[in-house]
Structures are given as C-alpha cells and as structure tokens.
C-alpha cells in the first residue's frame, strides 16, 4: 500500500514539474531571435500577417501560453510550423517508435555489455583482464558518440562494407546495429565501471565473507547474494542513463539519418518550429519523469531496506 | 602489463594505416558498367539521391526551398518543362502564342495530358491553381513571384478577390494569361512549382492533407508513393503521364540528409547514387579519390558582401566602399579558400543567356594596382594607419562562410589596416539581423536565381524590394528596371538591365565576390544527369546502367 501511495504522490508531484517545464520551454523558445517565417526570400506582408494569424502569434504571450496548455490537455500539440501538412502529434507519433526502438535496444545493450564486463573485471580484480577491460571502458566513456558513430561507419560500412551506413529502412535490424552500438558504448562503459566498483565493495562486505566462511560454492555466492546488491547503483543510474540516451539519440539520429524524435527536435529548433520543439520537450519531459518513477519503484522492490514512506 | 595494451592499441592503429596504404582512398571503384555494349540498362531502375533538409510541404503552392522543388519537379508538371540541360520545352502546354505587346499569352493544353488518376488536365485546372497560388489564404511563400500576372499583386495583398486574376480558360484546352507588363522571362517562370496545377477535387476533398501519398493526385512523370517524414520520400513512375514512354526509372528515393559528411559516407557505401552536397573540407580528398565522379558546373548564383547603406560608416562614403571592394583578391578566395572551381566575380549578376554585366575598369588591373588604388581611396574616405576603420562582418554560421570572411578580413588588414570583427549567427537569427538593418555594417549575402533571367538579381536591389538588405535606394536604378520591364525581350531590355547594374556597381552597395558552381557526386552507372545553370534535375531523364563487380584478383 505504501508503494501505491508513493506512486500517486510522485504522480501528483509531476504535474507542477511539467507545468514549470512547459512555461520555461515556451518562453525560451519564443525568446530565440529570428522567427519561423524568416526565409531567404522574405514574405509579402499580407502573407506574413495571415500566417501569424493562423498560428495565433499576434496574441499576447500569456494568452498564447494558456491557449497552448489548454490544447495540450486535450492531447493536441497544434500544427507544425515547418511541416505544414502535419500536426505535431502526428510527427511525435511517427518519430517516437523509432527513438524508442533505438533507445531501448541501446539501454539493453549497455546493461548487458556493461554488466558483464564490470562483473568480469571485479571478479578478476587487478589482473591483466581487469586492466584491459577497464582501459577500453575509459576509452568508451571518453569518445563522444559524434566521433564514435562516423568511426564505426568508416570501419563497418566503407572499409568492410558489411553494415549500412545509415537510413532506417522501416527498422530493419541490420540498419539498427551501428546506431545502437554508437549510442550504447559510452553508457556500457560507464555501467561497467559502476558494476565493477559496486561489486568489489559487495565482495568485501561482511555478509559475503560470512557466506564464504559457510563454504557455499562461489557461483551460488555470486548469483544468489552478490549480484542483487551489486546492481542497485546500476539501477539507480538507469534514470540518468535514459536521459543520456535521449540526448545522445539526438546526435546519433542526425548522423545515421534516422527518422526519430531527436531529429525533429534539432530540425524544429533550427526552423523555429515553436510547436514541434515544445511538443518534443514536453514529450521527453513526460518520458523522463515516468522513467524515474519506474526506476524508483523497482528500486523499492529490489532493496527492501528502502521504504517509500515519509 | 600495461605495455601489453599499448602494444595492442598500436597494433590496431598500424593495421588501420596498413590498410590505408593498400588502397589509400578506400573507395569502391571495382565496377564495370553498361555491360558489353556500354549502355545496357540495369534491371532495377531505382534511383537513390540525397535531398538536403526535409521539405516542409509537398503542396506546390506553399512549398519553400530547393529540396521541395526537387521532389515537386518529378511529381508535377507546369505549362512549361525543362530539358536535362535546362532549356525550356513544352510541358502540359504543347504550344503557345504571345501577343505583339508581349502581355497576353495563350496556351494550347495538350490533349493527352492526364492526372495520375486518369482525369484530363484542363485549362480550368490552371485557372483554379493560379488563383489558389496568389490567394493570401493559401499562405504561399512564393506568391510574390507571380506579380507579373495581371492583378496578382492586389490579390496577394488582399485588395482584390482571386477571381480577378488575369487568368482565363477560353476553352477546356485553351488558357489565357494576361500580364501587367511584358515579362520576357515569364515562360521560364511557368516551370516553377508556384505555377503547377493541382487537382481540384482532391484539394477540395482533403484540404491541406491532399499532399499525403494516399491522397495526392499529380500530373508529373512520377507519383508520390510514400512519404516517411525524416526517413525518405519515394516516388514511382506515373503510368498516366502523357510521355510515360520516355521514362526509364521506376522509382526514386529522396533521402532527407542534412549533414554533408553523413551524406558522403552513404554515397561511399553505395547507398546513394547521387548527391548534390559535398563537404568542403573533404574536397581535396574527393578530388584525389573520386575525381571521375565529381561533376562541377556553373550555377546561377552570386556570393557577395553587402554594406548597410543606411548607417555610418558606409552610408554616403563611396570611396570607402570602393576601397574595400578593390582590396579583396578574389582569386585567392576562389582558388585557395574554396577551390571547387568557383568564378571570381566583379559584377553582381552571373552571366546568363545573352546577358553579361560590364565589370568595372579595375577588374582588369593586377591586384597590386587595385591595392594601391584602394589605399588612395581609403585615405580619401578619411581613414589611415593612425585612424583605422573598425567594422564588423556578420554571416550565417558555416565553415565556408567563416573561411571566406577570415580571408577577406586579413586582406583588408594587410592592404588597408582595417580592423574587422567577425560575427557568425545561426541562420534564422542572421536572417532577422540582416532584415532589420539595425546593427549590421557588412553582411554576407548569396542569391540563386529563381528563373534564368538577369532580372531575378536586378530586382533584389530595387528600393522597394523586401530583400534589399543593403538599403540601396537609387531613383535612376529603379527607373531603369521599370523601363526594362516595359520592354519585350531583346537587346534593348538587356541594355537597360546592364546599365542598371553598372550604375549599381558604380555606387557599390554590395561587393560581388564569386559566382557559384554546383558540385555533384554521381555514380558511374548513372546517365542523364547534366549540369545546368539553375541546377534543376528531373528523374525522368535519368537511366541506370547495368553494373557488375570487376573480378577481384
């Protein structure tokens, strides 16, 4: 019951957070110099006037904001300024599945890869294996994905010619490999370091020493007693990791030409597509708030020491 | 122990370099194309090209920018069409008659012109469409292009109903367009998307969703098959097109790729057959490794720096403007800074058809002589080493613009001692700064002609033009433009435009720097893509040759 109460409490807390986010994003977007109707070829006055009217740009800001919040409540993010034949809701719905696929695959890859590497390193602490694995972990963290992605393309698409260099192709798995790897590597590296550190700490803790003294086989100790506490910090890192994957996907989608939300975000900002940028920001905001809530709830289940009551 | 890894790492690097030595370019050139005859066609006629930023809309009347035009040119056809090398040729109109005063055009619509659903294309379709283009409710970005048509200006401004536009269907297959003035370039404008016909029943049924693939009825050589925003636009052959027999391609993919480097890697990975963007920093590599696939052609565009004529220090200081213009060594910019074959410019309007501007006398001098004269003028303008000019150049953020600006700033510094501050701004910010004319001193400008006539450049400096960012206002210039507009095609009209340009260059509100070139990478198995001044390409002229891998030894 306390858990349910916790969830509802958090959900109620999310509403003001979202409102602040909306207002902040709204004023930030509007305060950017240049507007959606600035083109190389200037518009005739009459046409610009009609456009401004069609998008309610002549109302005072507070009125625009209230109208906007009102329409969001009905699930309508408004028409896009740039993609004039589409509504923002349509665009988000078409971009989100792509980003979701990319993001979920990257998180899983990062967890599996990072978890495995970290575990191996921790179990072979200070060995050659440990050092080599951690060295590559460091490299993985240090190389940003806008460098990693073209490097992967150069090796696998141009030199070896075994993987496509870009494009979505309706989500063909082959096309997802490089973007997912490029996105997951820095996170995998971080998770590996996190796992290693955490596991070493757990391995040196009293209860592990006790189980060892009791003569339990090593595998049992690790799988039954060590892994669970080891992954606690990893799970709490999943919230920030999701945020990092989202920001990373902005870059990766751009490089691989994937039709995801990140690309809409970048193009929307450059085009001063007010409604599209706002829509994506709010959507991302919801996603991050939701994901953090899930992580915190799961945390409660895994670690009974944490009780969600005030 | 650590040495172990370093060794391993070094080994990887060495391996990478070793590979480099074998084929230092790492390009895939092991192909035989065209089979035995050299012109044998591939079985799959699918053409894959890059297409810059995703088009905002495929509604021909509301579309904006090059990338939308690229697609629209394939799926629609205007009264007039273009050949592969850019000549105008009959499109939906099979012939036309122009009245003696050049103000009335009568078009005969071809009887076999069909919409993709089989409906005939009629004169009424064009009446509906042109009215829609100028109707302010359509929210068209390009409606001002149609001002030559009678009453268009008043309709765009909302002072007249669109029914009063000078366009009439005399018969189902005869269309008459009346103009305000004889406009010799009018035929060329009729190949622009703003004049394309749209299918009335579907526009009325679907509203602004008529451009969706499932709804769009068009009349070009191709029809819209799929549009996945930010993923690709796929067009496929239109069996109802009147000249479908000459089309070879079955499908064309337009990929929205806005990053020049990713575009190049996808081209190298054989995922694109054609790209029209080449990252400038990769140009030396491309010239070394892909020389046969790089095609450079003159492009009807002009790159210039504009002075803000409404403010100090440039307003009213002609010697100073001339000094700065002369002190720039344009060949250094075109050959060393850019190096793709751009043409140094001493006039504003690129040569086109029978037109060429008259360069100022100093264009024939050596750069040393120019510099000497520039120093004289600089002193005359009231500046010298002790009292140098300090100015700011504003340009939109881009590596190339930055390199050009740096080169120019250092030339000004060396020759005249001018202190130049460079300010780059993101595109939309830049557009606003330039438009407001409040704190610009010198700004970057570039213009690509909308149709192949000098007037598309001349009008930019008309005192009432919205795009006259320098604020140049000269009654004689405006009068010459008016005089040219009243004349029909011919030498006299061009003379007026030439005089206007010379007058402008004498005042020097803008410094012409160079004329653009188009840069394409084309795979060896593509034929039918020819360079042309407006850089317009239509897929209906393209064929794909059969290709086979060279047997590797």
Q: Are B520 and B536 in contact (CB under 8 A)?
A: no
pLDDT of residue B553: 53
In this complex, is the C-beta atom of A104 within 8 Å of any C-beta atom belonging to chain B? no
CA distance A287 to A283: 6
Q: Answer yes or no: do A46 and B211 touch at CB < 8 A.
A: no
B12 CA: distance to closest CA in chain A (Å): 12
Helix (H) or strand (E) holding B493: helix B491-507
**Chain A residues lying within 8 Å of B428, measured CB to CB:** 32-35, 38, 270-272
Residue B66 makes CB contacts below 8 A (sequence gap 6+) with B52
Q: Which residue of B has its CA nearest to A83?
A: B56
Partner-chain contact B428 A128, CB within 8 Å: no
Q: What is the ipTM of this complex?
A: 0.86
Q: Which of A41, A84, A158 sits opposite B268 (nearest CB)?
A: A158
**Chain A residues touching B255 at Cβ < 8 A:** 167, 257
CB-count burial class (<10 Å; 0-12, 13-18, 19+) for B420 = buried
Closest CA to B109 of B60, B199, B198, B172: B172
Q: Give the pLDDT score at B208.
A: 83
- Concatenate the DSSP letters of all residues of B281-349 into one string: GGHHHHHHHSGGGEEEEEEEEEEEEEE-TTSTTTTT-HHHHHHHHHT--HHIIIIIII-S--EE-SSSS
A236 interfacial to chain B (CB closer than 8 Å): no
Q: Is A33 touching B (CB cutoff 8 A)?
A: yes
* Residue tagged 């990769």 (tokens): B282
Give the pLDDT score at B157: 87
Burial class (CB in 10 A: 0-12, 13-18, 19+), B335: middle
Tally the C-alpha atoms within 13 A of residue B508's C-alpha that lie toward its C-beta. Answer: 19
CA distances from B244 to A303, B76, B151, B222, B370 (A): 70, 13, 36, 9, 57
Residue of A nearest to B446 (CA): A40
Amino acid A308: pLDDT: 55
Nearest CA-CA partner of B456 in B353, B550, B360, B342: B353
pLDDT in tens, chain B (553 residues): 344 444 444 444 444 444 443 446 777 777 888 888 888 999 999 999 999 888 989 999 998 888 999 999 999 999 999 999 889 999 999 999 999 888 999 999 999 999 999 999 999 999 999 999 999 888 888 888 899 999 999 998 889 999 999 999 999 999 999 999 888 889 989 999 999 999 999 999 998 889 999 999 999 999 999 999 889 999 999 999 999 999 999 999 999 988 888 899 999 999 999 999 898 888 989 999 999 999 999 999 999 999 999 988 898 899 999 999 999 999 999 999 998 999 999 999 999 988 999 999 999 999 999 999 999 999 999 998 899 999 999 999 888 899 999 999 999 999 999 999 999 999 889 999 998 898 899 999 999 998 889 999 999 999 988 889 999 999 999 999 999 988 888 899 999 999 999 999 999 999 999 999 999 999 999 999 988 889 999 999 999 999 988 776 5
Angle formed by the axes of helices B260-268 and A145-152, nearest 10°: 20
Q: What is the pLDDT along chain A (310 residues), one digit of tens a residue?
A: 567 787 888 888 888 888 899 999 998 888 888 888 888 877 877 788 888 888 888 888 888 888 888 888 888 888 888 888 889 999 999 999 999 999 999 999 999 999 999 998 998 888 888 888 888 888 888 888 888 899 999 999 988 889 998 888 888 899 999 999 999 988 999 999 999 999 999 988 888 888 888 888 888 888 888 888 888 888 888 888 888 888 888 889 988 989 999 888 888 888 889 999 999 999 888 888 888 888 888 877 777 776 655 4
The reply to whether residue B258 touches residue A128, judged by beta carbons under 8 angstroms, is: no
Neighbour-count burial for A144-181, b at 16+ CB within 10 Å, e otherwise = ebeebbbebbbebbbeeeebbbbbbeeeeeebbbbbbb
**Nearest-angstrom CA–CA distance, A178 and A168:** 11
Among A128, A165, A255, select the one facing B4 at the smallest CB separation: A128
Q: Cβ A255–B431 below 8 Å, yes or no?
A: no
Hey, what are A60's tokens? 């005072």
Report how far apart, in Å, the C-alpha atoms of B253 and of each of A183, B210, B259, B522 are. Answer: 27, 21, 17, 15
Could B265 and A44 be called an inter-chain contact, meaning their C-beta atoms sit closer than 8 Å? no
For residues B155 and B161, is the Cβ–Cβ distance under 8 A?
yes
- Which A-chain residues 60-89 have CB contacts (< 8 A) with chain B? 82-86
Indicate yes or no: CB of A128 within 8 angstroms of CB of B266. Answer: no
DSSP 8-class letter at B144: G
- How many residue pairs from chains A and B have C-beta atoms closer than 8 A? 159
**Local structure of B258: helix, strand or coil:** coil
Do β-strands B390-396 and B419-425 pair in parallel, antiparallel, or remain unpaired?
parallel
Cβ distance A42 to B26 less than 8 Å, yes or no, reads: no
Q: Is the peptide bond before B313 cis (omega within 30 degrees of 0)?
A: yes
This prediction's pTM: 0.89
**Beta strands B419-425; B251-255: pairing state:** unpaired
Please provide the DSSP assignment of A260-286 as one string: SHHHHHHHHHHTT-HHHHHHHHHHHHH
Q: Is the CB of residue A117 less than 8 Å away from at least one CB of chain B?
A: no
DSSP H stretches of helix in chain A = 2-31, 45-54, 61-73, 88-123, 128-142, 145-152, 173-203, 206-213, 218-220, 227-256, 261-270, 274-302
To the nearest whole angstrom, how far is the Cα of B135 from the nearest Cα of chain A?
Answer: 9
Give the other-Cβ count within 10 Å of A259's Cβ.
23
Q: What are the φ and ψ backbone dihedral angles of B114, each rounded to 5 degrees?
A: -130, 150
């Amino acid at each position: 019951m306390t858990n349910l109460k916790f969830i509802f409490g958090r959900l109620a807390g999310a509403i003001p957070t979202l409102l602040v986010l909306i207002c902040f994003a709204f004023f930030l977007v509007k305060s950017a110099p240049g507007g959606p109707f600035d083109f190389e070829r200037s518009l005739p006055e009459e046409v610009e006037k009609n456009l401004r009217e069609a998008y309610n740009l002549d109302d005072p800001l507070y009125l625009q904001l209230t109208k906007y919040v009102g329409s969001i409540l009905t699930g309508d993010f408004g028409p896009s300024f740039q993609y004039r034949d589409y509504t923002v809701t349509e665009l988000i719905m078409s971009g989100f599945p792509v980003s979701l696929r990319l993001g979920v695959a990257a998180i899983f890859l990062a967890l599996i890869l990072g978890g495995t590497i970290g575990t191996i390193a921790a179990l072979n602490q200070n060995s050659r294996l440990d050092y080599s694995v951690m060295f590559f972990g460091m490299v993985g963290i240090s190389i940003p994905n806008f460098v990693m992605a073209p490097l992967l393309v150069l090796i696998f698409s141009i030199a070896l010619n075994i993987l496509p260099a870009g494009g979505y192709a309706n989500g063909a798995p082959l096309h997802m490999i490089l973007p997912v790897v490029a996105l997951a590597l820095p996170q995998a590296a971080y998770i590996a370091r996190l796992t290693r550190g955490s596991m070493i700490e757990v391995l040196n803790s009293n209860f592990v020493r006790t189980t060892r003294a009791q003569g339990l086989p090593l595998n049992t100790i690790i799988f039954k007693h060590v892994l669970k506490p080891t992954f606690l910090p990893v799970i709490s890192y999943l919230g920030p990791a999701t945020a990092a994957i989202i920001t990373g996907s902005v870059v990766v989608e751009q490089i691989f030409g994937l039709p995801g939300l990140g690309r809409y975000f970048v193009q929307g900002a450059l085009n001063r597509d007010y409604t599209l940028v706002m829509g994506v920001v709010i959507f991302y905001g919801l996603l991050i708030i939701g994901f953090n809530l899930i992580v915190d709830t799961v945390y409660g289940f895994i670690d009974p020491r944490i009780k969600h009551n005030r | 122990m650590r040495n172990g890894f370093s060794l391993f790492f070094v080994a990887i690097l060495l391996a990478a370099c070793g590979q480099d030595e074998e084929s230092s370019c790492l390009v895939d050139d092991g192909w035989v194309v065209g089979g035995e005859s050299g012109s044998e066609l591939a079985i799959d006629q699918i053409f894959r090209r890059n297409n810059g930023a995703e088009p905002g809309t495929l509604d021909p009347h509301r579309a904006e920018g090059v990338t939308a035009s690229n697609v629209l040119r394939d799926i629609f056809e205007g009264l007039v069409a273009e050949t592969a090398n850019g000549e105008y040729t009959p499109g939906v109109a099979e012939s036309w008659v122009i009245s003696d005063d050049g103000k009335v055009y009568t078009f005969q619509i071809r009887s076999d012109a069909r919409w993709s659903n089989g409906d005939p294309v009629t004169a009424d379709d064009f009446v509906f469409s042109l009215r829609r283009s100028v109707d302010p409710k359509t929210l068209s970005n390009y409606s001002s292009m149609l001002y030559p048509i009678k009453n268009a200006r008043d309709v765009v401004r909302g002072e007249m109903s669109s029914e009063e536009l000078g366009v009439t269907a005399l018969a189902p297959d005869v269309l008459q367009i009346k103009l305000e003035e004889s406009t010799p370039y009018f035929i060329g404008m009729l190949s622009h998307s703003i004049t394309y016909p749209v299918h009335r029943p579907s526009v009325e049924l679907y509203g602004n969703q008529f451009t969706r693939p499932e709804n769009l009825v068009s009349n070009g050589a191709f029809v819209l098959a799929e549009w996945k925003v930010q993923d690709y636009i796929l067009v496929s052959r239109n069996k109802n097109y009147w000249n479908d027999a000459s089309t070879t391609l079955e499908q064309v993919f337009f990929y929205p790729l806005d990053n020049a480097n990713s575009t190049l890697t996808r081209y190298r990975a054989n995922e694109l057959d054609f790209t029209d963007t080449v990252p400038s920093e990769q140009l030396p590599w491309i010239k070394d490794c892909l020389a046969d696939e790089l095609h450079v052609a003159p492009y009807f565009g002009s790159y210039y720096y504009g002075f803000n004529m409404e403010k100090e220090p440039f307003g009213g200081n002609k010697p100073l403007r001339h000094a700065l213009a002369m002190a720039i060594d344009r060949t250094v910019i075109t050959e060393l800074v850019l190096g793709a074959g751009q043409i140094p410019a001493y006039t504003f309007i690129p040569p086109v058809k029978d037109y060429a501007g008259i360069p100022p006398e100093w264009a024939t001098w050596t750069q040393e002589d120019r510099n000497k004269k520039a120093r004289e003028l600089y002193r005359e303008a009231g500046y010298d080493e002790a009292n140098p000019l300090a100015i700011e150049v504003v340009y939109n953020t881009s590596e190339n613009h930055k390199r050009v600006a740096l080169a120019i700033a250092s030339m000004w510094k060396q020759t005249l001692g001018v202190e130049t501050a460079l300010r780059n701004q993101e595109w939309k910010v830049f557009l606003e700064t330039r438009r407001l004319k409040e704190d610009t001193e010198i700004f970057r400008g570039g213009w690509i002609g909308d149709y192949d006539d000098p007037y598309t450049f001349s009008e930019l400096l008309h005192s009432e033009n919205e795009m006259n960012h320098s604020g140049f206002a000269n009654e004689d210039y405006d009068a010459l433009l008016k005089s040219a507009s009243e004349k029909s095609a011919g030498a006299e009209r061009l003379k007026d435009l030439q005089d206007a340009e010379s007058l402008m260059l004498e005042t020097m509100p803008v410094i012409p720097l160079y004329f653009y070139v188009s840069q394409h990478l084309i795979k060896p198995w593509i034929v039918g893509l020819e360079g042309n001044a407006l850089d317009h390409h239509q897929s209906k002229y393209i064929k794909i040759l059969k290709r086979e891998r060279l047997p590797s030894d």
